[in-house]
Each structure stands twice: as structure tokens, then as C-alpha cells.
Amino acid sequence: MALKDLFRAKPVIGVVHLLPLPGAPNYRNNLTEVIDRAVEDALALEEGGVDAIIVENFGDRPLRMKALPITISSMTKIVERVIESTSIPVGINVLRSDGLAALSIAYVTGASFIRVNAYTEIVASGEGLLKPEAWEIYFLKNYLKSDVLILADIKVKHGVSLSAVDYYHAALEAMERGLADAVIVTGLSTGEPPPTSAIKEAKEAGATVLVGSGITSSNIRDYVNIADGFIIGTYFHREGKYTEPIDVKRVRDIVEQLSAN
């Protein structure tokens, strides 16, 4: 399966930021609450018109480099419920960067794609040194005969790449050597947009480029003609606060702006 077979041109992928899961410091000892909120947010994103949803364990801070078994089992149950409750493609991002866990969950649940924060780069981050996972992920993907798509961050937010000189070469590594289906360009941290020059650099390498942070209704026009799609998380929440539920009006505003172009 290719990206063009899953999404329309310039897709909007909304993010379901999970509440803290079992094993996380701020877990409230109520998995039903976590599941219900995830399904509620997913349905709101679908109602607002997004093309797909990506589920991530954003509430599990401070994040581990690799997920605990209880995190993986909890996310599997939640993703299954989200897929059952919606009719659009669902993806997975296991933070801080556990692409093998994400692919495993996707295979079991029937999810369509994964996001990997350190795919072909070594990244110094607040959680530690993130190591590239491309070989392990592709080995498992081939072994399972899976058609799950791989969206790979390059020069990922909340970290400093120790192996990518620039966005052009980072994209080239991810697409040509890592066989990613698309790359994701972000700002320096959550909620910060990337410079447009970074997207153009990655595009020059022949990559399909998604913007992965900082998109709002006021700046999306700066990116609509250069990016191939958007992953939008923080802005879609009520008042732009990730602790609040998804605001359908904010989702529709973005979707309508893109439809008008």
C-alpha cells in the first residue's frame, strides 16, 4: 500500500493524545476513563473532517525511550476501540520512540500507519539517546508481510539530531535508505511550527513531507502550497490546550481552509 492509496492529496491527520496510561506517573487508576476519552476525541476529529487519526501516549510523561509492556497492551486495547468506533484510517505513535511497539500494535489491531520519531537518525533528547530503528522495523514488517505505512520524523522536535546534517540529507536517508513512506518535519518543540525552508529542503530530496507540529488556522496558508499533508495535535484541542477535549469547530476550520485551496 502506498501513501496515495490511503490518503487524499494534502491529508489532515488529527492526534488523539491519550491520558496517562497504566504504568505512567500520572495514571489515575481508571483505564475506562482513558479509553472513553480516546474514543470521544477520535469521534470529534472524524466529525470535524480529518482524513485520519494517530493515537499516541502523550500523557505518559516523563516518557521512556521504550514502552513498558503495560503501555503496549493498554494502547493495543485503546487503538482497537478507536478503530471500531471510527471509519477513517488510524495510526500509532509510541513515545518516546518505539517503532517496533507501534508496528506490533498496528499489526494486531489493523491500524494503517505508524509514526517513528527516530527512524534513520541518532537523536540526543531529554529522554536519552534515541537510536535509529529502520532495520528492525522493516525486518518485522517483512516478516509479518505487513502493509503498514511508515511516517518517519526527521530532525525531530524535543531533540538534536547527531547524524543528520540538514533536512535534505535527513529526508534522503529516511526515504532512500530507510524506505519510509513519508517524512515528518516539526518545529523545535510541541506546538512550534517548522521553518518553511525545512520543508522545501526535504521536498528537494524527493520526499513526501508532512508538517508535524505547530499548524494553526492562522498559519496553515503559509504551508498549504509546499507541504504534502499535516499532522495536527495541540491546536485541535479546546483553547489549544492538550489537556482539554477536541474542539470540533477548530478541526472544521482547518479542514475548510484546505478544501478552499
CATH code where residue 30 lies? 3.20.20.390
- Is the residue at 2 inside a domain? no
- pLDDT of residue 257 exceeding 70: yes
pTM: 0.97
Residue 60, pLDDT above cutoff 80: yes
Is the model's pLDDT at 1 over the cut of 70?
no
Kindly tell me if the per-residue pLDDT of 3 is higher than 90: no
Residue 213 lies in a domain: yes
- pLDDT tens track for 183-240: 999 999 999 999 999 999 999 999 999 999 999 999 999 999 999 999 999 999 999 9
Q: What is the mean pLDDT of the chain?
A: 96
Pick the more confident residue, 184 or 5.
Answer: 184
225 in any annotated domain: yes
Q: Could you tell me the pLDDT band of residue 6, with boundaries at 50, 70 and 90? A: confident
The reported pLDDT for the residue numbered 63 is: 96
Strand order in the sheet with 123-125: 128-130, 123-125, 159-161
Q: Which domain holds residue 57?
A: 9-259
Taking 90 as the threshold, does the pLDDT of residue 5 lie above it? no
- Encode 23-83 in three state secondary structure: CCCCCCCCHHHHHHHHHHHHHHHHHHCCCEEEEECCCCCCCCCCCCHHHHHHHHHHHHHHH
Span 84-125, pLDDT tens digits: 999 999 999 999 999 999 999 999 999 999 999 999 999 999
Q: Considering the domain boundaries, does residue 45 fall inside one?
A: yes
Burial level of 135, CB count in 10 A (0-12/13-18/19+)? exposed
- What residues have CB less than 8 Å from 13, skipping those under 6 apart? 50, 51, 52, 53, 54, 91, 210, 229, 230, 231, 232
Best CA proximity match to 260, nearest among 203, 220, 211: 220
pLDDT for 145 equals 97
Residue 77 falls inside a structural domain: yes
Q: Is residue 1 part of a domain?
A: no
Q: Alpha-carbon distance 238 to 66, whole Å?
A: 30
pLDDT tens digits, one per residue of 137-156: 999 999 999 999 999 999 99
Residue 218 lies in a domain: yes
Percent of the chain topping pLDDT 70: 100
Extract the C-alpha cell encoding 105: 500494535
Residue 68 pLDDT class (50, 70, 90 cuts)? very high
pLDDT score at 4 = 78
Count of domains in the chain? Answer: 1
Q: What mean pLDDT is predicted for residues 44-59?
A: 97
Q: Is residue 3 part of a domain?
A: no
What is the predicted pLDDT for the residue at 76? 98
